[in-house]
Structure 1
Amino acid sequence: MNRLSQYLLARWKIIPSPKDQFEPTISKARILVVAISLFAVGLGMFYLFVIWMIQGRQMLIYLFGEELSLEKVQDHVDIYFAGMITTLFLYKATTAFLLWCLIEWALKLFRNWLILAPDCNYKTPALLLFSFICIPVSVVFTPFVFWVLYINCIPDSSPSSQKNFFYSYVGWRCSLFSLCFLGLIYLAVGGFDRFETGLDFSPHYIFSLTGVVAVLLFSMAYCWSSMILEISRLQHEKYRESSMQSEEKCKSCGEPLTTDNSPCPMCGQRNT
């Protein structure tokens, strides 16, 4: 257990040491996009079986025919429970995979941030990091966190027109993400109120609700994934730009330094 904790502390540290080097996050971002897609599928399937279990017999009759006898319905209930357990396991597995990939990507991203800006107060990236990797919190604060990340990852030499494009790029995605999130809350509250008042969930209503939820979930996944990929790309461009603009080079490996008298982003050697 001690070795595992030491490994995680060394791998998941926020504040870079002098030997730490800049690491591109593009590959981590692509894996994270896959994890987000799998999570959306797992959450959607879990939601589907939860809703269907509420109206189990009615849904079975709707799916398999009105002439389905009570005994046959009872036989199909076992299939429902097996599907419920399977989707629950899939949901938990995709959630764990998403959290792992999110931590891996976010920690490397924020560590690169501190390497590129060694004079930056580490408390700001640390607070944003917590807001991002804590999934219930990150869903609420995602627009704000992504906006701050874009501001800090845009290369300084980018023309104003390109910066305006980046702002609109993240702006409408954050807006769409927030609207979809509010839509999911509205549907959840409406469904709970319908259940509390004793109103029936007709099969047509359930199928319509399932389609709407699927669209909202995958819209949120698209917004999140596209912004993650763009942030990783911009941060790498900012690193390349700062390396090209620096006049001082590392005495050990010859890599251009991001700022004067700063640790080398490639080998970590401090040049003083």
Structure 2
Amino acid sequence: MRIALFSTCIGDALFPDAHKATALILARLGHEVVFPPAQTCCGQMHINTGYQKESLGMIRTYAEAFADPSIDYVIAASGSCVGAVREQHVQLAQRHGKPADVAGAQQAAAKTYDLPEFLVDIAGVTNVGAFFPHRVTYHSSCHGLRFLKLGDRPYQLLEQVEGIDLVPLANVEECCGFGGTFSLKNPEVSQAMVADKARHVKDTQAEYLTGGDSSCLMNIAGALARQRTGIRAVHLAEILASTKSHPWTPDSAAYPKEKML
């Protein structure tokens, strides 16, 4: 299959390794991976902040960037952004756009998938040959859990990783408190929420926290680092891309850690 990589804003600017890992996994599975250079932000931040009509241009750009009929699927390592494309783009195109905008948004949304969805549902793969000999716990992001209904797909993939000690996270369905602009508009509430999440992560005695959204991992990792827990954050894609011959190492971690404070 020919797959287009959607890098997302936060991936492009802050956490490119998660998206590089996504491309690597897909290529190892035999897919052709392309990167349409015209892609930009999906508009989620603007839409959620109330600039819905103003986001129409970004929705058009997304549809046009991935309109090539030779592209079978668009894959991202971000349940949040994929959720926005699938849940918001068509609705806003119908509300503020023209028939061509609706058609473009529908076409793009239909072939946009989060990495765990694609691997399990489309590629039919749970074992990608990964090796990660560490104690790990998994955080379910809100968009992945509630919009995309990822269910146990991430767990299916993690359970097949050689050497991993996967431990459950208490109250895994609870939000970490980031929520994009929510953490800026409601800082006290956000801090209380991430404090709860960090406490649950610490209780697992895990070495690493993983998840499917870099924004959530950044938020939780910041709280863990400020408490000097020693627990690192690593994106799910980076674990799945790690192999015995090319292992992921803590030095490559981009999320907040003690030495950065």
Structure with larger RCO (C-alpha < 8 A, sep 6+): 1
Q: Tell me whether the two structures share a fold, i.e. TM-score over 0.5.
A: no
- The TM-score, its normalising length taken from structure 2, stands at 0.29
Structure with greater helix share of residues? 1
- The TM-score, its normalising length taken from structure 1, stands at 0.28
Larger Rg: 1
Structure with greater strand share of residues? 2
